[in-house]
């Protein structure tokens, strides 16, 4: 337990330029702080986080023999670690530091009430001093880190992250729920703004993944359970029954020279035909299938939902004996030090915006369906045709912000960020491929923010695409010609627009998939108001999460294009490799401690702990609660609940909290 010292507190007030000093009378708060019990020095500085600012803390600790530090500045989320280091450099325990937020929670919201803001700053400083007087020395716990990582989701983000980790010498499990890696990027034809072929740049990376000795590829696999904590995650994987064995799996079963070699003979004889999901059912597949020729790994999969178990495929496979129609899901437990989530996105179900006729009118398609139709390896060999009659369209409309930037409660309020650019790309592609075609883009604004993106926008304008600024109100179909009547408003010319088109492409909003949300919850990662996974800090820690050791890459954190996805994946891989290379991590010492003499062994707290950190154990003939400190996140649930007051919450002890409440309620009168 911590050693008790007579409180000698130093208070430091930050101006943050005029961010704080513009709305709060710093001098007045500084003078007030000097009057508080235990305060021996009160100082101020323009920018406390700067080197001279931190130097003031270091010097004051030495000069005044301080036992505790209060900095009144910005949010602790921003600079608590900075001032902890300064406290440590000065020679006191870094957890004898308390921060009073007088910027985000004060000056920024009370900028027109200097008197009120100054009074509130005094309250915040007084409360922080009350706590700082009771702070104790705490010591972070060091735990070893398993030399392995997991990446969940094998789109371009997951592929890049796992290649980086593997190339840094870290054994990496790459877990993908579908039978192949590649994600959405493998469905794209060309990529903006350079217009290079998506498959040409992705396939070599996919092949590298398959070959890399440090990557343990787990396709058709999902995360079932996550236990443990940074450095020591124990993860249960569910390997879905694929019905087909890899050569390694066959060898393990004693089938010499067997296992799937991707020859496709089985698929040739299979009588069951289904829509190929990769082609959005615009092409068929069999019940035993691969989605496309570039799949990694090149292993077939049985779709047990449609398989009629006729056995023809088993016969066709012959001596390779790769097919096992009785295969069942299997489970495997792995241990990793860090994790990267890269679960990407799915399209918002745009049929919910009924006015645009998706799923009612065959010639209304999504951007991803367009990608497959224009792609040389797609269902039409790259000839863009109308789904209704196979004719080449001559007038094509692109509806931007379809379901994005939508505050009606049906769509998504956010911008999906890559649909302006891919719609420009789509317009270019049809102008290039179909002589005399007319492309109409219905837009709200064009967001061409990336490198060479604005230039790409000009290029498409020069190529003759027509831009109509306004939302499409309604689309109707002529049942005879199957043409589409598009009703919109041109807000620049301030007049209604009615155009008859052959084909309409909806740039649908994107959203996280339900499976991605399951993974998010398993890893204890929060989500932001818009549903995407929440980063630890939008500016200072965009790849991290509030769960130590878990990082984010790609669109699962929010819509972003391929360059930004790859950049974030590289960042996440770098961040995830640090604890592994260091070999140990320090855990913040904010965990619960059981005061065994007070514990009645009722066990009620055990099920309340959201992190499974508590267990009842037998000690000297008595049941008492035990905390696994490395698992405890210091959330305080057990501490707040325990009827016997048997739980000591480090850094948030009952006396500390009571002192804060007293300091607030009693004002300056304590
Ligand atoms: P994804 O590609 O979605 O990959 C996520 C992977 O995770 C998938 O393989 C998925 O199956 C897997 N997964 C999901 N949940 C789980 C789970 N629970 N367990 C295991 N695996 C899971 N960007 C450009 O820069 N240029 C372009 O030209 C371009 N064109 C586009 C055109 C269209 C029509 C669209 C819709 C997007 C376009 N984009 C373009 C954006 C591009 O698709 C994304 O930036 C990129 O695909 C994001 O990659 P990702 O790995 O984050 O996600
Ligand atoms: Fe601004 Fe915070 Fe730095 Fe002060 S410590 S200058 S409030 S960022
Ligand atoms: Fe694989 Fe056998 Fe089918 Fe060939 S016939 S693709 S080896 S499962
Ligand atoms: Fe197709 Fe199933 Fe028959 Fe094999 S057993 S050929 S997968 S229907
Ligand atoms: Fe709309 Fe463009 Fe944002 Fe997509 S990227 S939601 S089309 S503004
Ligand atoms: Fe019960 Fe409290 Fe002991 Fe938990 S710590 S078992 S709630 S007495
Ligand atoms: Fe569990 Fe929270 Fe108690 Fe820690 S403080 S043991 S995480 S309930």
Q: Is 464 left (phi over 0), alpha (psi -120 to 50) or beta?
A: left
Q: Is the CB of 634 under 6 A from ligand 7?
A: yes
Say if 146 falls within a structural domain. Answer: no
How many domains does the chain divide into? 3
Say if 48 falls within a structural domain. Answer: yes
- So what's the pLDDT on residue 4? 59
Say if 63 falls within a structural domain. Answer: yes
Say if 352 falls within a structural domain. Answer: yes
Region 371-385: mean pLDDT is 97
pLDDT-based confidence at 228, cuts 50/70/90? confident
Say if 632 falls within a structural domain. Answer: yes
Instruction: Report whether pLDDT(319) > 80.
Output: yes
Q: Which residue has the tokens 């954190």?
A: 557
CATH number of residue 353's parent domain: 3.50.50.60
Q: Name the domain boundary from 511, 532, 550.
A: 511
**Both 599 and 493 in a single domain?**
no
Region 346-352: mean pLDDT is 98
pLDDT digits (tens, 9 = 90+) for 241-293: 999 999 999 999 999 999 999 999 999 999 999 999 999 999 999 999 999 99
**Both 494 and 601 in a single domain?**
no
**Both 497 and 621 in a single domain?**
no
Instruction: Report whether pLDDT(141) > 90.
Output: no
CATH number of residue 94's parent domain: 3.40.50
Counting Cβ atoms within 10 Å, is residue 650 exposed (0-12), middle (13-18) or buried (19+)? Answer: buried
**Both 505 and 612 in a single domain?**
no
Measured in degrees and rounded to the nearest 5, phi and psi for residue 274 equal -130, 170
Say if 75 falls within a structural domain. Answer: yes
Say if 389 falls within a structural domain. Answer: yes
Distance CA 410, CA 255 (A): 54
Instruction: Report whether pLDDT(229) > 90.
Output: no
**Both 18 and 121 in a single domain?**
yes
Contacts of 261 (CB under 8 A, 6+ apart): 247, 298, 320, 322
Tokens at 336, concatenated: 């990793």
Instruction: Report whether pLDDT(3) > 70.
Output: no
Q: Is the CB of 505 under 6 A from ligand 5?
A: no
pLDDT digits (tens, 9 = 90+) for 391-435: 999 999 999 999 999 999 999 999 999 999 999 999 999 999 999
Measured in degrees and rounded to the nearest 5, phi and psi for residue 119 equal -65, -40
**Both 607 and 494 in a single domain?**
no
Distance 381 CA to ligand 4 centre (A): 27
**Both 490 and 606 in a single domain?**
no
**Both 361 and 505 in a single domain?**
yes
Q: Name the domain boundary from 495, 511, 527.
A: 511
Instruction: Report whether pLDDT(537) > 90.
Output: no
User: Among residues of the chain, what percentage have pLDDT more than 90?
Assistant: 94
Q: Where are the alpha helices (DSSP H) in 339-396?
A: 367-374
Say if 357 falls within a structural domain. Answer: yes
**Both 599 and 492 in a single domain?**
no
Pocket lined around ligand 1, Cβ cut-off 6 Å: 152-158, 175-178, 183-185, 188, 191-192, 222, 342-345, 367-368, 371, 418, 422, 425, 513, 515-516, 519, 554-555, 560-563, 565
User: Among residues of the chain, what percentage have pLDDT more than 70?
Assistant: 99
Q: Which domain holds residue 107?
A: 9-138
The number of the ligand 7 atom at minimal distance from the alpha carbon of 647 is: 3
CATH number of residue 630's parent domain: 3.30.70.20
Q: Name the domain boundary from 511, 543, 561.
A: 511
Distance 636 CA to ligand 6 centre (A): 13
Distance CA 418, CA 425 (A): 11
Distance CA 653, CA 639 (A): 9
**Both 497 and 616 in a single domain?**
no
Distance CA 468, CA 488 (A): 9
Instruction: Report whether pLDDT(619) > 60.
Output: yes
pLDDT digits (tens, 9 = 90+) for 470-522: 999 999 999 999 999 999 999 999 999 999 999 999 999 999 999 999 999 99
Instruction: Report whether pLDDT(2) > 50.
Output: no
């Amino acid at each position: 337990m911590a050693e008790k010292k007579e409180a000698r507190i130093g208070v430091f007030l930050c101006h943050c330029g005029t961010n704080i000093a513009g709305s709060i009378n710093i001098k007045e708060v500084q003078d007030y702080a000097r009057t508080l019990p235990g305060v021996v020095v009160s100082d101020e500085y323009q920018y406390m986080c700067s080197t001279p600012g931190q130097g003031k803390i270091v010097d004051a600790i030495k000069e005044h023999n301080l036992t505790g530090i209060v900095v009144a500045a910005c949010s602790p989320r921003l600079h608590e670690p900075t001032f902890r280091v300064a406290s440590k450099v000065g020679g006191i325990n870094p957890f004898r530091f308390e921060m009073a937020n007088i910027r985000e929670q004060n000056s920024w919201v009370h900028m027109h009430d200097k008197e009120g803001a100054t009074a509130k700053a005094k309250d915040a400083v007084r409360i922080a001093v009350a706590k700082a007087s009771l702070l104790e020395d705490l010591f972070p716990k060091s735990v070893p880190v398993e030399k392995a990582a997991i990446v969940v989701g094998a789109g371009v983000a997951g592929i890049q992250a796992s290649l980086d980790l593997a190339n840094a010498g870290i054994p990496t499990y790459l877990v993908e729920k579908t039978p192949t890696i590649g994600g959405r990027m493998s469905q794209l034809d060309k990529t903006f703004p350079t217009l290079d072929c998506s498959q040409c740049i992705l396939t070599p990376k996919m092949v590298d993944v398959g070959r890399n000795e440090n990557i343990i590829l787990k396709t058709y696999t999902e995360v079932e359970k996550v236990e443990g904590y940074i450095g020591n995650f124990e993860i249960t994987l569910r390997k879905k029954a694929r019905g087909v064995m890899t050569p390694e799996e066959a060898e393990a079963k004693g089938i010499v020279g067997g296992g799937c070699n991707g020859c496709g003979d089985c698929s040739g004889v299979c009588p069951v035909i289904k829509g190929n999901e990769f082609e959005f059912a615009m092409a068929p597949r069999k019940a035993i299938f691969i989605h496309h020729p570039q799949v990694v790994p090149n292993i077939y999969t049985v779709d047990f939902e449609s398989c009629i178990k006729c056995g023809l495929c088993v016969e066709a496979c012959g001596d390779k004996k790769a097919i096992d129609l009785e295969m069942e899901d299997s489970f495997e437990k792995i241990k990793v030090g860090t994790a990267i989530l890269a679960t990407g996105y799915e399209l918002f179900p745009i049929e919910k915006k009924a006015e645009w006729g998706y799923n009612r009118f065959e010639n209304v398609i999504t951007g991803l369906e367009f990608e497959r139709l224009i792609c040389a390896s797609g269902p039409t060999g790259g000839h863009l045709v109308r789904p209704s009659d196979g004719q080449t369209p001559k007038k094509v409309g692109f509806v931007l912000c379809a379901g994005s930037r939508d505050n009606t409660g049906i769509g998504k309020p956010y911008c999906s960020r890559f649909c302006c650019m891919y719609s420009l790309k789509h317009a270019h592609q049809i102008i290039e491929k179909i002589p005399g075609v007319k492309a109409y883009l219905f837009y709200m604004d064009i967001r061409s923010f990336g490198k060479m993106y604005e230039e790409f926008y000009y290029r498409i304008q020069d190529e003759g695409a027509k831009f109509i600024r306004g939302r499409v109100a309604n689309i109707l179909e002529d049942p005879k010609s199957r043409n589409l009547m598009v009703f919109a408003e041109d807000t620049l010319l301030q007049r209604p627009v009615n155009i008859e088109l052959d084909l309409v492409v909806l740039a649908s909003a994107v959203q996280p998939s339900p499976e991605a949300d399951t993974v998010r919850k398993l890893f204890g990662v929060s989500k932001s108001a818009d549903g995407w996974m929440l980063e630890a800090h939008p500016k200072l820690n965009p790849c991290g999460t509030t769960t130590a050791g878990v990082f984010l890459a790609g669109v699962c954190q929010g819509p972003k294009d391929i360059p930004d996805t790859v950049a974030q994946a590289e960042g996440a891989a770098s961040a995830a490799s640090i604890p592994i290379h260091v070999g140990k991590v320090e855990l913040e010492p904010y965990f619960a401690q059981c005061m065994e003499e007070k514990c009645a062994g009722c066990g009620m707290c055990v099920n309340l702990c959201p992190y499974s950190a508590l267990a009842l154990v037998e000690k000297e003939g008595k049941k008492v609660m035990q905390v696994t400190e490395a698992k405890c996140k210091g959330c305080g649930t057990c501490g707040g609940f325990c009827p016997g007051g048997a739980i000591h919450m480090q850094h948030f002890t009952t006396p500390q909290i009571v002192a804060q409440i007293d300091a607030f309620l009693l004002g300056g009168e304590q």
